[in-house]
Copies of this chain bind each other. A is one copy, B any other.
């Protein structure tokens, strides 16, 4: 399952003329297998066992490459550091305000908002972003003590 996605991602790299280095392979593999929304530093720390000499700049560089060819999406929240999502299907996120957990959820695209915004403001709309915030189940349970 995630093996298949990794193969597809490597194929996309080749098609884009991006070299497949061991570091790139590892970052990509981590992104796909972790199924989460890690920060650059989380990826860096997760891989320092396998790659003790890898530079943090390499992680940043490769994440930028992946983003630019559409393999990952960069998520920027209020907190300090970006998060990276290799789920390229259209989806939204709900974020726990206590523990920071990010969960995917699906909802039809908000086309109506886009077209109204276009009419009212005269912009040419390209896209939108939307997130829902709240308290996750785990954190609710912890509060009950």
Interface set of A (CB-CB < 8 Å, partner B): 74, 76-78, 82, 92, 94, 96-97, 103, 105-107, 110, 113-114, 116-118, 120-137, 140
Partner among B125, B126, B129, B134 whose Cβ is within 8 Å of the Cβ of A118: B134
Measured CA separation A140–B121 after assembly (Å): 13
- Min CB gap A77→B, angstroms: 7
Q: Oligomeric state, in number of copies?
A: 2
Contact A123 B127 (CB under 8 A): no
Contact A94 B78 (CB under 8 A): no
Q: A76-B77, A97-B126 are in contact. Are A132 and B107 (CB under 8 A)?
A: no
Chain B residue numbers with a CB within 8 Å of A103 are 121, 123
Residue of B nearest to A129 (CB): B131
Provide a sorted-by-A list of 27 A–B residue pairs whose CB atoms are within 8 angstroms.
Answer: A76-B77, A76-B78, A92-B113, A94-B121, A94-B125, A103-B123, A105-B120, A105-B121, A106-B120, A113-B130, A114-B132, A121-B136, A122-B136, A123-B132, A123-B135, A124-B135, A125-B132, A125-B133, A125-B134, A127-B132, A127-B133, A127-B134, A128-B131, A129-B129, A129-B130, A129-B133, A130-B130
Residue of B nearest to A127 (CB): B133
Measured CA separation A97–B129 after assembly (Å): 13
